[in-house]
Structure 1
Amino acid sequence: MRALLLLLLTALFCIAEEVPEQTVMGKSEEMSLTGKVVVLPVGQDDLVNKQAFRFWHRMLERAMDEKARAVVLELDTPGGLAFDTRDIITDDFGKLDIPLIAWVKREALSAGALIAFSSDRIYMAPDSTIGSAGLINGTGQEIEKVMRAKLESAFEASMRAVVEKKGHRMDVLRAMMFVDEENEQQFGSVTVRKGGLLNLTASEAIEEVDGKPLLAAGIAGTLEEVLEIEGLEGVEVIRPEPTGFEKFAWWVASISPLLIALGIGTAYFELKAPGFGLFGFISLGVFGLFFFGNNIAGNLAGYELMAIFVVGIVLIILEIFVIPGGIVGIIGALMSVGSLWFAMADRVDFSRIDEGGSIVSNLGDVLIGPALGLALGILGAIGLMLLFMRYLPDLPLFRGLVAKEALASGQGGESTKSLVGLIAVALTDLRPTGTILIEGMKKDAISKHGLIEKDSEVRVLKEGMTFEVERVDEGLA
């Protein structure tokens, strides 16, 4: 039964991996972008949402493939993830072969300013601002001096090719990104004091210096005004949204700790109710959903980690039923838990662990979030086990199913009398759990006082899903 469940779990994941990308991402169900203006809002929280970057990447590829007229980035953001922003700028915005227009609706700060510089033309709403693109670490703190120099140099090099291609002023971007502790800087009517970063209002951004605007091509109060200036009035505008499938996958990834708790908890009860099946199928579905959702959401969940997880479960089952001793079970548990841990790590972040610092430190940053999710999942599983052990045996449905299973075993009906105090025989080692034989019936049992060897006589102390027993000679002492 359990072997079948493991095979089904593997098959489920393999089917999910083999679904063509167009179908998985819902491309065939989405409206065509051909000849249309594609508007991608970049809102307050979008640049800290990795799923937003993946969605933008897909939409930009579609915009090029389907020959959209233009892409407009509607910016209202305080900033966000520096490396993800750099990647989408160099890998997507910088290579776009259709017009890319940035409209600063209210603010484009930090990473938002970098995105604006990657567009062909920038327009700003009357009261909007742009700038303050200095790098900080993930906690909002200052970066150590040498590390800052390395990061700033790398970011400048990445941005320089894109900014020069788009025709923007690199000196303006540098003043937004890099602090000059020794000199004041002048950009038109704007003075950047020592130790400060450049910020521009809409009116300042359109000032001409040496016959060229500092930054913005013009001021536009609405998106319609932007399109009119660009000669795109009358062109159909579309605001794509993630497909239902994408939203579902992202939601699954967000509840990974809950799925781990349910998967471990139901697997435990499958082991405690041999032949019952319901808990095993629930665990199968939950772990299949966990790996499938995290894979589609862009995390490391894939064939390799799935295989490690399955092998780990097989080793745990071998430890329980075939080769008890501890070592095999420990290895299996480490493999299974480790695969769940790494499955929640972001694939892109993991590929960048050798950038901008020590590999150990960067790896820790990538895995700390998944570690927290794993810990919450394990704690939840323990809580679920305790609740089920306390309340599940009293549920009418569960009692009925157990009774039917017992009758189907061919050993006759179970006695309704209490078995507490009766003598049984250990059919397996109790380490501390195992199986006992009492009045012709096999029962799951747990030893009250450590190891009890196979064939030992035991006394029943408590009844339930799992009987609590002690060695007979211990009870007489």
Structure 2
Amino acid sequence: MRPARAPFGRPGLRAGLILLLAGLCLWLAPAGQAQNAEPAPLVVVLELDGAVGPGTAEYLRRGLQSARERSAALAVITMDTPGGLDSSTREIIADILASPVPVSVFVTPAGSRAASAGTYILYASHLAAMTPGSHLGAATPVQMGGANPLAPSEPPKTEGESQAPPRGDAMTAKVTNDAAAYMRSLAALQGRNGAWAELAVREAATLTAQEAFDQQVVEVLARDVADLVAQADGRTVRLNGEPQVLTTAGAVVETLSPDWRARVLAVITNPNIAYILLMVGIYGLFFEFMSPGAVGPGAIGAVSLVVGLFALNMLPVDYAGAALMVLGVGLLIAEALAPGLGIFGVAGALALAIGSMLLIRDAPGYRISPLVVTATVGLSLAFFLVAVRAALRAARGQVTTGAQALTQALGEVRSWAGGQGLVHAQGEDWQARSPAVLAPGQKVRVVAREGLTLIVEPAPEVKTQAD
């Protein structure tokens, strides 16, 4: 009998096929692993540096939207702020709470602060972090106009008893209680220290970074963003009420800068810029009304006024201050049009100065500089004083044109006969008459004019020579 053949032929051929298949598997394995490997997580960094305002809110809204569209693992808001506007702060907090991407607020670098509005934003974050050397707190709402001097005084509080606003200041009590409840609700979202949050509102309490960490106000102490990202990995936060584990190991960190819209909005909502735009707009339109057809002042004034009013609409404007400004400008214009011995000018300058200082209600980081107000009021007053002086000089000066300019003008007789003749005055020949006897070449003075005929008399020096 013939022996049975091996299934794959000779032993050498079988071994070669095995080696070939093994090599092919080794060559294809890295490619398959590379295709199945997940991309590194993305961490988006946003920067909040300065007062919280409409420009800041716009920038952070777009930044969080970009983080959502790119499926970022974490959005980090680095913060250094003295506070800002309540409306913008609430917009930022609403965007953080509605974000499907976890948001970490990081007070950095050393020496930074999360004061006033910054404390509220930090409490709203899913993960709060600070750099050693930074601090937070002083979240008491600003009292517009100060305390009521007629309110009854209360005895001092004992240690540990919360400081409540005076009984007589009901508005302050309402604002403070609302802010305290808001902070407690934010603290409950991530299980932070709600008792200290209320102290920050009622007593303007502050904490250093280490104290905030020890009192469970923040969860992380980090040197920089890289350290924060490393410590955030594996932590559990509550996102829309549900626990979520952060995965940031090996993450790619990318910083998003403000776009042109946010930059422009931040510039024009600066109270000083908005105030200057408003004044340029008012004076530009005034010049256009005084000199119709100039076009330039009117166009610049209209644009400046619209932009200035748009910016003021986003700022906490005191309407009493705005009314005083309008009154002041009106009095200065009245001084220029109908000089009142400077009374209108002085009153207008005082009204403009007081109204300018009251125009923006007191908010951290949002005040009109006294230097800007002084310069604006000084230039306005100087301009209108110059206009008044020019008007007085023109009123007192001798008329050099028109019918009145001929009165008392000197002339010379060209021809004369029968009490009338031709007189040359002011570069022209005029028909003239006079009760005096005149001769050609004689100097005369114009006394009056009747239509196109001058009434003349001999010039004084002629009379003297005749005598």
Q: TM-score range by the shorter chain?
A: 0.3 to 0.5
Larger radius of gyration: 2
TM-score (norm 1): 0.47
